[in-house]
Amino acid sequence: MPSNKTDEVIVLDVKEIGEADLLISFLTRHSGRLKGIGKHAKKSIRRFPNCFSPGNLLSLDYSIRPNKELTFLIQGRLYDSPLQEMHHLRLTNNISLALYALKLTDIALPPSLPEPDVFETLLKLLKKLKEAKEIRQLCLYYETKLMKILGYEINLTECLSCKRHYTFTGNAFFLPLKGGIYCKRCAPSSGTFTLEPSHVKIIQTYQTVDILHLPSVDLDPISSERIAEAILSHMKQHLNPMPPFLWELRGKILERS
């Protein structure tokens, strides 16, 4: 028998199917990432009024059917449309980051795995993007935080080889393949990113601080680029292969920030 549920959801992706139906990828607060079919959703003002645009926050009624990958979408109620607000405010790069974060989340999360922390972090990011200006920092923050929640936290506490505690007094050498840092004495001869103490501190902040309490950081372009490259390499090492357009979008966001 089908099981009916109601949950808060964030719309991650929308695809048209035929003339009237929509295939929706959405992140629920309690049940993880799901996909569902909205029959006649393109034209249904009564069941799905203004619901299905990327980034929208909804209360969604849906049905889980046994042995079916797709849920059946019953009815939705729109709570918030942050990308629409960004559009009205002409926050073009904010919109780009929102779309990037939605797509990254959609691809990175396995289906039906409850991740309430991802939901909360993405929701806070979308709300912050309505007015935020520090787009580069928010991009790097969300990537780093998402990786940590998914179990790919960067080990910044000690050298992966000799286990000596990192004290922020010298450079660390980050190896994405191992997901952690080495001291200068133990660092491999290739494949590492050199991180200054300030860089390590920033990445540590991204992994531990709530987005609402994220401090403002004024980085020089070289340091900012080094951190961005290290985080990108970390994602590429541990996530499923991402479509090239996603990394291209990321590059444009950081370039314009």
Q: Does residue 37 carry a pLDDT above 80? A: yes
Q: Does residue 2 carry a pLDDT above 80? A: no
Residues 30 and 132 placed together within one structural domain of the fold: no
Residues 63 and 111 placed together within one structural domain of the fold: no
Residues 125 and 177 placed together within one structural domain of the fold: yes
Residues 37 and 121 placed together within one structural domain of the fold: no
Q: What are the angstrom distances between the C-alpha of 22 and each of 39, 81, 201, 256?
A: 7, 18, 44, 33
What are 46-55's pLDDT values in tens digits?
A: 899 999 999 9
Six token digits for residue 121: 């972090």
Residues 17 and 122 placed together within one structural domain of the fold: no
User: Tell me, what CATH number does 234's domain have?
Assistant: 1.20.1440.120
Residues 73 and 93 placed together within one structural domain of the fold: no
Six token digits for residue 137: 């920092």
Six token digits for residue 80: 């918030």
What are 164-200's pLDDT values in tens digits?
A: 999 999 999 999 999 999 999 999 999 999 999 999 9
pLDDT class of 1 with cuts at 50, 70, 90: low
Six token digits for residue 17: 């199917």
Q: Does residue 16 carry a pLDDT above 70? A: yes
Number of domains into which the chain is organized: 2
Residues 85 and 72 placed together within one structural domain of the fold: no
Residues 16 and 108 placed together within one structural domain of the fold: no
What are 87-117's pLDDT values in tens digits?
A: 999 999 999 999 999 999 999 999 999 999 9
Report the amino acid identity of residue 55.
Answer: G
Report the amino acid identity of residue 253.
Answer: I
Domain residue limits at 25: 1-80
